Amino acid sequence: MPVMPRRKRKQFYVRRKVCRFCVDANLPIDYKDVNTLRQFVTERGKIIPRRISGNCARHQRRVTRAIKQARLLALIAYTPQVPIT
Amino acid sequence: MRRYESVWVVNGDLPDEEVKSAIDKFSKIISSQGGTVVGLDEWGRRKLSYKIQGTIRGYYVLADFAGTSETVKELERNYRIDDRIIRYLTTKKSDKVNLEVLQSEIAARAKAAAPPAAPPAEPEAAAPVEAAAGDEATAAPVEAAASVEAAAPEEPAAPAKEE
């Protein structure tokens, strides 16, 4: 029986993401600031999770809130109009 | 008195006079209900991200004001009554209002508005929304999808080869 070589453990480079709103305290989170909010939304209009965006909990809550407010005012789409195929 | 900020969206398909009267009406409501309008910021006609009541254009107005909860209550009641308003959002900016600061802000606003009063070339009128009636295919939302989905964890280690 051939001995299976011990599988090498996958190496992850965990690059610690930092919350950019914490880094720059002047960066506002505002429902009117559509360009900033777009960065936290996927093409399909979903809110990017904290795990990916790297925001801290407090700022993620604010971003989420701002996105939802912007959606209400039709500044950001809830969902793309043209279906992605 | 609290400091509030209210955005309302007037149906963008209405003629300018209608839009103007809607703006006047609501700023008057604020002042008549014991509020003080600090600034009225018209964003102009914008394309909506999705259709609301069959229209794809909206005229956005942002009012920064100080008032009481009664002011907001009355304002929002009127938003709901008026058919020209398709969306609104009122947010509280602060719980306390310093009247002196308020006055100085109003003065600063007035000052900022005064000098460029000479060349007030309507920027909204100069750049009309070209999206005509054909809204189906032509008005595809070309939203630059600025996705920051980077940061997918890289896996440089090749998957371990089986023998």
Give the pLDDT confidence of B121-147 residue by residue, as tens digits.
Answer: 444 444 444 434 444 443 344 333 333
Assess A74–B contact: CB distance below 8 Å, yes or no: yes
Give the chain B residue whose CA is nearest to the CA of A45. B145
- What is d(CA B6, CA A72) in angstroms, rounded to the nearest whole number? 13
| CA nearest neighbour of A72 among B71, B91, B158 | B91
- What is d(CA B55, CA B23) in angstroms, rounded to the nearest whole number? 19
Q: Domains in chain B: how many in total?
A: 1
CATH of the domain at B111: 3.30.70.60
Report which of residues B78 and B144 the model is more confident about. B78
Long-range contacts, A18-25 (Cβ 8 Å, 24+): A18/A54, A19/A54, A19/A55, A19/A56, A19/A59, A20/A54, A20/A55, A21/A55, A21/A56, A21/A59, A21/A62, A21/A63, A22/A56, A22/A59
Residue range of the domain that includes B18: 2-126
- Evaluate whether residue B149 is within a structural domain: no
Q: Is the distance from CB of A37 to CB of A69 less than 8 angstroms?
A: no
Would you tell me which residues 93-152 of chain B have a C-beta closer than 8 angstroms to some C-beta of chain A?
Answer: 140-141, 143-149, 151
- Evaluate whether residue B89 is within a structural domain: yes
- What is d(CA A37, CA A31) in angstroms, rounded to the nearest whole number? 8
The answer to whether B143 contacts A77, with C-beta atoms less than 8 Å apart, is: yes
Interface test with chain B among A7, A46, A73, by most B beta carbons within 10 Å:
A73
What number of C-beta contacts closer than 8 Å exist between A and B? Answer: 80
- Evaluate whether residue B137 is within a structural domain: no
Please, what are the domains in chain A? 20-72 (4.10.640.10)
- Evaluate whether residue B145 is within a structural domain: no
- Evaluate whether residue B65 is within a structural domain: yes
To 5 degrees, how large is the angle CA B13–CA B19–CA B25? 145
- What is d(CA B51, CA A18) in angstroms, rounded to the nearest whole number? 37
- Evaluate whether residue B51 is within a structural domain: yes
What's the pTM?
0.68
* Least trusted range by pLDDT, from A65-69, B43-47, B83-87, B152-156: B152-156
The answer to whether B157 contacts A11, with C-beta atoms less than 8 Å apart, is: yes
* Least trusted range by pLDDT, from B5-19, B21-35, B129-143: B129-143
Q: What is the mean pLDDT of each run of 10 residues along chain A (85 residues)?
A: 67 74 86 92 93 91 94 92 65
Mean pLDDT of B23-32: 91
- Does the complex come out with an ipTM higher than 0.90? no
